[in-house]
Amino acid sequence: MDSLYAAFFLPEEITKGMECKTLLFENHAKQVELKVPDMTKAELSSTMLMIKGNRQKYLSKLHTNEIVSVIDEAVQKWLNPSYELRQFAEETLPVITGYDDEMVRLFLSRYLRSFRKEKLQRIIDEDFANPLVLDEFRPRKAGGLTRAYGPDLITHIFSGNVPALPLWSLVSGLLVKSATLGKVSSSEPLFPTLFAKTIAEIDPDLAKTMAITWWRGGNDELEQTAFNQSQTVIAYGGESTMKNISEKVPSHVRFVEHGHKVSFGVITKECLTGSLAWQSAQRAAKDASWFDQQGCLSPHVFYVEKGGKYSPRDFARMLAHEMSNFEHKMSRATLTTSETTDIMKARSNAEFQSFTSDEVELLSSEAGTSWTVVFREKQQEFPLSVLNRFVTVVPVDDLAEVKEKTKEVRRVIQTVGIACPPQRFQTLIQQLGDCGANRISFLGEMSLPEPGWHHDGRFNLADLVYWCDVESSVENTMDMFDPYRD
């Protein structure tokens, strides 16, 4: 493949004569150059009109199972290690993102498996009691008929903190039969383009309902053009990004935001016995190290119950050992000067406190800032991490305390990873549900949500559609107007 790769997927009529820019990425002693569009307002507007027209002519008439089959075939291609675009992604994504090669390779395989045919069907079934409502009017239990319609066009504002993550949003739009305008992130602009090209290999007409492009965030002219011509906008990013976008989305356009979220882990005392303690520490280290805590599913803190064979402080030391092991297997990405400074400041603060109190202990990598574990005996506030493999361990006498300790972040709690025995399961999940958690997984699985989970506590597909109800009065009365009535 060319060293300068086109990281966009647009109608050929638009790309003729279109101006482009080059994004340069350097990591792991390698370089990748990507060509991205420098679109005008007119070019973007024309693109949106084209994909909406193609959606009306083709996508809107497909049966949902036909769309599922195309996505499944694309996923099967990507799960094949010899597939050209998969090999290109494995080669370039580590350079673009800075993440470890093996981490990217493993994540692609595990994540893509979530979009196989049976998993997609499960996602649809999770949101719709009768999935056929996406294809035709179906009887309602209360009488009459109903049907679900997806928006004509969805604009997706992707984040780039974790590679391939935009696939979730892309697939959701296709399943509700909406045209797709995807705006990629400057920090990872490649994967959505590659997947759209795979769709084009399988079903060129379906691919014509998709457009993947780039513009610099905050471009008012292009963003207002995109939002004004969309029926729905889905955006991923931090609080400032969400605020900026929400101010531009017109009131008649549905805005689905996935903003800043935090996650944490909980370990019961029963899991601090014998080999279970080391297994728990290993799982916790995986969750805290995967993609360097850049995703909303990554834990900031582990609340550890007292009373086990090993103490919470022992667990912190085990966790530090396992964080070191993970670093040897999959090294952390190179940090910016600002990120390194944040870690050094947080470490210095913890180290100073440890000199004056034995209630704080700093455990960290000796060479550089690869990983950090801070043990805090009396920590009342939720200890937000500076990220990049920096976690806090907080002991609790009773796990009922977790609700009080996390109250200040209740509105943004995403995932809780738990290590517990079956005897504690029901009580624990009730406590965590009361904390405001959107998702509970076992420790070690926090970064891989199962298909159909309620992202941010909402439906994935049902939040995107509008409903048309045909009342029973139509069925009951229309026979009176039948010209062939006896």
Which of 189, 212, 186, 187 minimizes the C-alpha distance to 199? 212
Terminal CA-CA length for the chain: 72
> pLDDT digits over 8-67, tens only?
999 999 999 899 999 999 999 999 999 999 999 999 999 999 999 999 999 999 999 999
Task: Return the axis-axis angle of helices 312-329 and 274-289, rounded to nearest 10°.
Answer: 50
Domains of the chain as residue ranges with CATH:
4-260 (3.40.605.10), 262-437 (3.40.309.10)
What is the predicted pLDDT for the residue at 3? 57
Mean pLDDT of 462-466: 96
* Beta-strand pair 232-236/254-258: parallel
> pLDDT digits over 278-325, tens only?
999 999 999 999 999 999 999 999 999 999 999 999 999 999 999 999
Exposed e or buried b per residue across 203-213, where buried means at least 16 C-beta atoms within 10 angstroms of its C-beta: beebbbbbbbb
pTM for the model stands at 0.94
CA gap 434, 383 in Å, rounded:
20
Strand partners, 183: 157, 213
Torsion of CA 103, 108, 110, 116, to 10 degrees: 180
Which of 267, 293, 292, 299 minimizes the C-alpha distance to 280? 267
> pLDDT digits over 146-179, tens only?
999 999 999 999 998 999 999 999 999 999 999 9
> pLDDT digits over 61-109, tens only?
999 999 999 999 999 999 999 999 999 999 999 999 999 999 999 999 9
What is the predicted pLDDT for the residue at 1? 42
